[in-house]
Amino acid sequence: MDLPVSVLPRRDELRQVFDYDKVSTVVVGEGTSGSYRLLETLAQRLASRLLEETPALSATVEIRKMAPPTTASVEQVSVEVRLDRQR
């Protein structure tokens, strides 16, 4: 996530840092609240929610699926989605 300068801590104190608990709450909440058929749908929804819930200027979400059900033998597939806040 790209953050505005105003969110960067002025001192080396944990309480001044970006709220990573909020990020993990959004990710876990969205990932467990429903069912998704496509990785692309989940990645887009997560990026959108992160922009709604945080001061981030942009959010990039990468999702990896291990041993996907494909006709070719691949270890994993991944999808990456980046959304920018509308200014």
Q: State pLDDT tens for residues 58-77.
A: 999 999 999 999 899 999 99
Domain range 5-84, CATH architecture: 2-Layer Sandwich (3.30)
The Cα-based distances of 11 to 14, 30, 39, 44, 55 in angstroms read: 9, 32, 38, 34, 19
Which pTM was predicted?
Answer: 0.81
Q: Distance (Å, rounded) from C-alpha 14 to C-alpha 11?
A: 9
Mean pLDDT of 3-20: 72
